[in-house]
């Protein structure tokens, strides 16, 4: 049973991404070291993404006040609905809002939206400093007047995906990594997820894709598209380094069961051909899509055939939503794309 004061005990749960949203949060890019020698196109790319989201819902942006004028100009030039764009004077170290931002939860009985605030250590202390990023959840909570539930466990939003009906999907490579919570057992980690995110079952996959510096975030691998459906990336080329990793994950998914004890509906999503920059393979994946009100923003990698094939799969997973491909080849040099930079706030 969850402790009496945990979000789950109070009736909160983390909604699925396809449920109605009030806003999407971003943290504006300013750290040149995140895209070394290739930062120049990044702010305009963020502005393009803001424009797409703003046509369907609010975009809320963490950004220190001195940088806001330039960002606003780029967003305006990108054709955003400016009435739907809100800036918050929240300084950050970096741009990965999925991981340093809050994970929102909702109480279906009262309608209250609250936030869970986990400890953030930049994926195992890989990229200090991260002190400003760690302050983003309390800053957002204060700015919006939302209740905040704090947990000292290290957890990033990109490491998990939920179906909104009690199931949570994650990876052993990330959540059981000793650079996160060496003091916690697997059982304790699972209980924290249940108590704070309102889930009842944790579904474990194995390793993440090549080039992923997060130690295997689920949002580059496998994502729920319905309560009993999971879309997962596959790589049929046996010579590709991702082939074995993704095949093993596919086999695990086939062995998992829904709450009703049935097999999941599985949709296989192609991987883009390996993307390199300066000789380094980047973690390019079509699974790093973002679901928003009425649409799915899909990362594209200037590979017309594969981009189109991925869009077709996602269209089948999300009928009634527009699939919007966004060129993310420059963005992924920072080692993440659309899902990594964003965090949805439930309506």
Calpha distance 109→150 (Å, rounded): 22
pLDDT at 2 (0 to 100): 56
- For residue 206, which of 163, 162, 256, 270 has the smallest C-alpha distance? 256
pLDDT at 344 (0 to 100): 98
CATH no., domain 12-346? 3.75.10.10
Q: What angle do CA 318, 61, 112 make, to 5 degrees?
A: 65
pLDDT at 184 (0 to 100): 98
- Give the list of residues 6+ apart from residue 344 with CB closer than 8 angstroms, or none: 17, 21, 23, 24, 25, 104, 290, 291, 292
DSSP H helix total and E strand total for the chain: 10, 19
pLDDT at 3 (0 to 100): 65
Calpha distance 184→63 (Å, rounded): 34
pTM recorded for the entire structure: 0.97
In contact, 288 and 295? CB cutoff 8 Å: no
Q: Which active-site residues does the annotation give?
A: 340
pLDDT at 321 (0 to 100): 98
Query: Where do the structural domains in the chain lie, given as residue ranges?
Result: 12-346
List the chain pLDDT tens, one digit each, 347 residues: 456 699 999 999 999 999 999 999 999 999 999 999 999 999 999 999 999 999 999 999 999 999 999 999 999 999 999 999 999 999 999 999 999 999 999 999 999 999 999 999 999 999 999 999 999 999 999 999 999 999 999 999 999 999 999 999 999 999 999 999 999 999 999 999 999 999 999 999 999 999 999 999 999 999 999 999 999 999 999 999 999 999 999 999 999 999 999 999 999 999 999 999 999 999 999 999 999 999 999 999 999 999 999 999 999 999 999 999 999 999 999 999 999 999 999 99
């Amino acid at each position: 049973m969850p402790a009496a004061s945990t979000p789950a005990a109070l009736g909160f749960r983390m909604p699925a991404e396809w449920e109605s949203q009030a806003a999407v949060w971003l943290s504006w890019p300013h750290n040149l070291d995140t895209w070394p020698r290739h930062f120049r196109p990044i702010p305009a790319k963020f502005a393009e993404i803001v424009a797409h989201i703003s046509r369907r819902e609010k975009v809320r942006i963490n950004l220190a006040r001195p940088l806001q004028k330039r960002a606003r100009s780029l967003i305006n030039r990108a054709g955003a609905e400016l009435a739907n764009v809100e800036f918050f004077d929240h300084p950050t170290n970096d741009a990965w809002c999925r991981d340093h931002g809050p994970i929102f939860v909702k109480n279906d009985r009262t309608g209250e939206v609250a936030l869970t605030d986990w400890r953030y250590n930049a994926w195992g202390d890989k990229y200090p400093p991260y002190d400003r990023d760690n302050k983003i959840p309390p800053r957002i909570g204060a700015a919006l007047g939302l209740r905040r539930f704090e947990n000292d466990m290290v957890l990033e939003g990109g490491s998990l995906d939920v179906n909104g009906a009690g199931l949570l999907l994650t990876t052993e490579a990330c959540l059981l990594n000793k650079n996160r919570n060496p003091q916690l057992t697997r059982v304790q980690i699972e209980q924290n997820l249940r108590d704070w995110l309102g889930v009842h079952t944790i579904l474990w996959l194995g390793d993440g894709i090549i080039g992923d510096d997060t130690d295997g975030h689920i949002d580059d691998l496998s994502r729920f598209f319905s309560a009993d459906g999971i879309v997962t990336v596959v790589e049929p080329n046996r010579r590709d380094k991702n082939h074995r990793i993704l095949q093993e994950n596919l086999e695990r998914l086939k062995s998992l069961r829904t709450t009703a004890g049935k097999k999941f509906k599985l949709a296989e999503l192609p991987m883009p051909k390996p993307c390199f920059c300066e000789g380094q393979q980047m973690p390019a994946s079509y699974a790093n899509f973002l679901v928003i009100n009425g649409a799915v923003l899909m990362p594209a990698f200037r590979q017309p055939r594969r981009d189109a094939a991925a869009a077709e799969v996602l269209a089948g997973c999300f009928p009634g939503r527009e699939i919007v491909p966004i060129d993310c080849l420059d963005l992924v040099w920072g080692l993440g794309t659309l899902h990594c930079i964003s965090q949805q706030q439930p309506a």
